[in-house]
Structure 1
Amino acid sequence: MGDNRIYDIAGIGIGPFNLGLAALCSPIRSLQTIFLEAQPEFNWHAGMLLPGSTLQVSYLADLVTLADPCSSFTYLNFLRKQGRLLQFGIHENNVITRREYNRYCRWVCDQLSNLQFNWRVTDICYQEDQKCYLIMGIHPLAGTKRRIFARYVVIGVGTQPAVPDFAAPLQGDQILHSSQYLKHRNALLSSRKIVVVGSGQSAAEIFYDLLQTGQETGQHLSWMTRSPRFFSMEHTKLSFEMATPAYIDYFYRLSESRKPFTIKQQDTLYKGINYQLINAIYDRLYELMTEGVTVPATLMTNVTLMGIASSNGKDWRLRFHHEEQDQVFELGADHVVLATGYKAAPPPFLKSLRHLVRFDAQGKFDITRRYTIDENHTLFVQNAEMHTHGFTAPELGLGPYRNAVIINTILGTTYYPVDERTVFQQFGVPPQS
């Protein structure tokens, strides 16, 4: 099955970032675009769409507003179309739930004609005679072959769940990554002993969800993290200034040897827990105590998971190392939820383009300031640039900015204006007179 026209832009992967790009490209009549996704429909972190869980950014950080507030694809226009705009104003809440954000994104999908689901990319090669890319793929279910041509490609395939190497072969119904939580939630609710491992928002949301429901069954719930504290995300306006193009410019100019150390010092800017959720967990534990309930819960920091073993494939023993006391101890579990984050990796469909793609000494993409990874500046990446551009790579609020940069670069003109003065503080050494 082939499409012989040459598109201007082909986006691979339809997550929030490429969906935002598709929406921002939609009104530009000079651009022919297509966006490809292997899944049958849009769902953003479906395994973590827990009731009441919220985004950690303002509703203004939707797919398009911070690039084009007049777009018909804004969250506020979604509310207008749903007949809920006035009620949202009365609600007076700056953040929305993950489920609501997912509904909004699916609504945007319904408005766009440049999206194709059930389209898994298998290979990309460059056609020198036509100066364009040939993108090959298949329908994941039917197995039918597909192909399209495009002059520019934007890769937004997202990240993959990360688990410790020793846990990878054990994954299943009892040992699972947080991304699979909802799929296994019913079984977890009836489990006797659950250990949640991780320090971020996902671990906190899962612990809180289980804390609401497991007390009637005598469930023992443990939350273990190697972080020295249950860190909350920084929530100050001067910290928010670091999620701006001005800070990206500063970070991008740092030396390659300095960047990893800087990122390690910034966990609370993007990895921490919503402070309201931390307080809600404490309040729930306190409420249970006042009701005379002995809460079978363990919360520990400074502990690193070293191994998981079982003699019968059912009752698990987890080995931890306490970092400050330098002692090893074990914990039993029926179920283990590894809220251990995500990792980026070069997608396999780029294997035919390795001679065109730039890599650094560590084998990671060598990404330009304008998000390209090839010498001709025709291959762009979304949310793969933390090592070059800083912690803002996965930030939803920076998606519209990055998409504006990508569109402006492709068009060779400023279609979407980018704010120049975005901060009051200065990140680098001032010019010397």
Structure 2
Amino acid sequence: MKEDNRIYDIAGIGIGPFNLGLAALCAPLSELQTIFLDAKPEFNWHEGMLLPGSTLQVSYLADLVTLADPCSPYTYLNFLRQHGRLLQFGIHESNVITRREYNRYCRWVCSRLSNLRFNWKVTMVCYEAARQCYTITGSNPQTGAIQKVVARHVVIGVGTQPSVPGFAMPLLGDRILHSSQYLSHRAMIQHSKQVTVVGSGQSAAEIFYDLLQTGREGDQQLAWMTRSARFYAMEHTKLSFEMATPAYIDHFYRLPEHQKTAILQRQDSLYRGINYELINAVYDHLYDRMTEGNVMPATLMTNVALREIRPAGGNWLLRFYQEEQDAWFEQHSRHVILATGYKTTQPSFLEPLHNRICYDTAGNFKITRRYAIDPDHTLFVQNAEMHTHGFTAPELGLGPYRNAVIINTILGRDHYPVDGPTVFQQFSAPQRPNSDGAA
């Protein structure tokens, strides 16, 4: 067994963009000893969806650190400077970057940090009351060697897991797959005669557009099906952007629990919509093929819910329900791509901490405003707080803010500035004054 005898101030579990940003913001703080653990051999962000030309839906300023510390050596602009591309980026005049570029930037940050440990799969976290510390046990996926570290605070950033309908789970493989696996199957799917993409978000749109451009020309039957009422664009207005701020998080956090669920259901276009330019690009591509007399058979349908998949003569028979018409119909497909989103799950390695973690009536983490799931503020979560803090939980641009809050909480002082009221609109009703005039 390999055991690190140090007691770290922070141990991060999972090295995705959020915990990587936390590691970068912790790096210059000499008073914090930190370590970040991940089961993968190296950093790769949504590698199954790193399609050529696909872009982030946020500004390049929403990198790992800029919105908390623009002077950090780990900014995207410094990445460009170090690679001799800063001037060209200025000439390029684009506010967004590709996913592949973002992944390259994150891997560059990884190469400059000494507090990251890959090939470190966490299997159990226990609390030691005597030392007031957490013991984190794990193993090396390649060698099987058992490893342990001890830390006073733990930040859980394991990300979300692909969400797949229950009836499709037993069928997953080379020809029925979640969108997160698309790139590794792309070559085969491009040559398929029948492909059905299920879902309404950005991933579904990117895959459908990719196949429009690269699939079998002339005889590929391509379908894009969604239960959503329309193929809707993500809201792209400045007053809507104000909702991706700490001010709106404060408002949402104070709302009753039953209100939050209903509100989130009405906010799809704030975080699940499709990039406006991409929706238009899909239409323009279909239009251009039509004008050239070379129409690719393509079916686009909304208000249709996939309810069943079963084998049918070497293909798959898909059974859909048209919700507005209360009607059922079927279609065949050789390949099915389920762009059905992601879900938050509670990691099994936290089971020994059940008595320390706070839960709400639905069994979800009861998360404090400062992102802790225990009353002592020693256990924190990243991107697991949509039900408490709102739709901004997966927002890359809010990562530096959340990390600043976590670091400041652990330090007991405000090392990183945290944005105050930075919006023009008011989200909550004015407080009524008491009889003596005080609010």
Structure 2 equivalent of residue 259 of structure 1:
260
Q: Does 1:390 align with 2:390?
A: yes
Structure 2 equivalent of residue 345 of structure 1:
345
Counterpart of 1:48, as a letter, is: M
Structure 1 equivalent of residue 377 of structure 2:
377
Deviation at 1:247, TM superposition (A): 0.2
Structure 2 equivalent of residue 356 of structure 1:
356
Deviation at 1:311, TM superposition (A): 4.0
Structure 1 equivalent of residue 55 of structure 2:
54
In structure 1, distance between residues paired with 2:99 and 2:258: 36
Structure 2 equivalent of residue 411 of structure 1:
411
In structure 2, distance between residues paired with 1:17 and 1:288: 41
Structure 1 equivalent of residue 158 of structure 2:
157
| Alignment gaps of 5+ in structure 1 | none
Deviation at 1:215, TM superposition (A): 4.4
Q: Is the Cα contact below 8 Å between 1:190 and 1:217 reproduced in 2?
A: no
Structure 2 equivalent of residue 229 of structure 1:
230
List per-residue Cα deviations over 1:41-85 (Å, max 9, x = no partner): 000000000000000000000000000000000000000001000
Report the secondary structure of 1:22's partner residue. helix
In structure 1, distance between residues paired with 2:205 and 2:419: 35
Report the secondary structure of 2:361's partner residue. coil
Report the secondary structure of 1:418's partner residue. coil
Deviation at 1:432, TM superposition (A): 2.5
Report the secondary structure of 1:134's partner residue. strand
Report the secondary structure of 1:286's partner residue. helix
In structure 1, distance between residues paired with 2:431 and 2:198: 46
Report the secondary structure of 2:293's partner residue. coil
Query: What is the TM-score of this pair, normalised by structure 2?
Result: 0.98
List per-residue Cα deviations over 1:230-277 (Å, max 9, x = no partner): 000000000000000000000000001110000000000000000100
Deviation at 1:294, TM superposition (A): 2.4
Q: Does 1:2 align with 2:7?
A: no
Structure 2 equivalent of residue 238 of structure 1:
239
Q: Is the Cα contact below 8 Å between 2:36 and 2:117 reproduced in 1?
A: yes
Q: Does 1:321 align with 2:300?
A: no
Deviation at 1:361, TM superposition (A): 1.1
Counterpart of 2:57, as a letter, is: Q
Deviation at 1:150, TM superposition (A): 0.1
Which stretch has the larger CA shift, 207-216 or 321-330?
Answer: 207-216
Structure 1 equivalent of residue 281 of structure 2:
280
List per-residue Cα deviations over 1:109-166 (Å, max 9, x = no partner): 0000000000000001001111100000000110000000000000000000001000
Q: Is the Cα contact below 8 Å between 1:121 and 1:136 reproduced in 2?
A: yes
Q: Is the Cα contact below 8 Å between 2:286 and 2:295 reproduced in 1?
A: no
In structure 2, distance between residues paired with 1:421 and 1:158: 29
Counterpart of 2:46, as a letter, is: H
Structure 1 equivalent of residue 87 of structure 2:
86
Deviation at 1:372, TM superposition (A): 0.4
Q: Is the Cα contact below 8 Å between 1:12 and 1:37 reproduced in 2?
A: yes
List per-residue Cα deviations over 1:71-103 (Å, max 9, x = no partner): 000000000001000000000000000000000
In structure 1, distance between residues paired with 2:188 and 2:216: 15
In structure 2, distance between residues paired with 1:48 and 1:231: 20
Q: Is the Cα contact below 8 Å between 2:42 and 2:118 reproduced in 1?
A: yes
Structure 1 equivalent of residue 436 of structure 2:
none
Structure 2 equivalent of residue 28 of structure 1:
29
Report the secondary structure of 1:424's partner residue. coil
In structure 2, distance between residues paired with 1:213 and 1:263: 36
Structure 1 equivalent of residue 437 of structure 2:
none
Which stretch has the larger CA shift, 227-236 or 209-218?
Answer: 209-218
In structure 1, distance between residues paired with 2:20 and 2:171: 34
In structure 2, distance between residues paired with 1:295 and 1:44: 32
In structure 2, distance between residues paired with 1:294 and 1:75: 41
Report the secondary structure of 1:384's partner residue. coil
Counterpart of 1:398, as a letter, is: L
In structure 2, distance between residues paired with 1:274 and 1:35: 33
Structure 2 equivalent of residue 166 of structure 1:
167
Structure 2 equivalent of residue 309 of structure 1:
310
Counterpart of 2:179, as a letter, is: S
Counterpart of 2:102, as a letter, is: Y
Counterpart of 1:346, as a letter, is: Q
Counterpart of 2:88, as a letter, is: Q
Query: What is the TM-score of this pair, normalised by structure 1?
Result: 0.99
Structure 2 equivalent of residue 95 of structure 1:
96
Q: Does 1:144 align with 2:145?
A: yes
Structure 1 equivalent of residue 332 of structure 2:
332
List per-residue Cα deviations over 1:330-349 (Å, max 9, x = no partner): 01000000000000010010
Deviation at 1:217, TM superposition (A): 5.1
In structure 1, distance between residues paired with 2:296 and 2:134: 59
Structure 2 equivalent of residue 105 of structure 1:
106
Deviation at 1:413, TM superposition (A): 0.1
Deviation at 1:4, TM superposition (A): 1.1
CA gap of 1:278–1:270, structure 2 versus 1, over 3 A, is same
List per-residue Cα deviations over 1:191-236 (Å, max 9, x = no partner): 0000000000000000000000224251000000011110000000
Counterpart of 2:101, as a letter, is: E
Counterpart of 1:359, as a letter, is: Y
Counterpart of 2:430, as a letter, is: P
Counterpart of 1:397, as a letter, is: G
User: What is the RMSD computed on CA atoms of the aligned residues?
Assistant: 0.7
In structure 2, distance between residues paired with 1:357 and 1:365: 7
Deviation at 1:295, TM superposition (A): 2.2
Q: Is the Cα contact below 8 Å between 2:192 and 2:216 reproduced in 1?
A: no
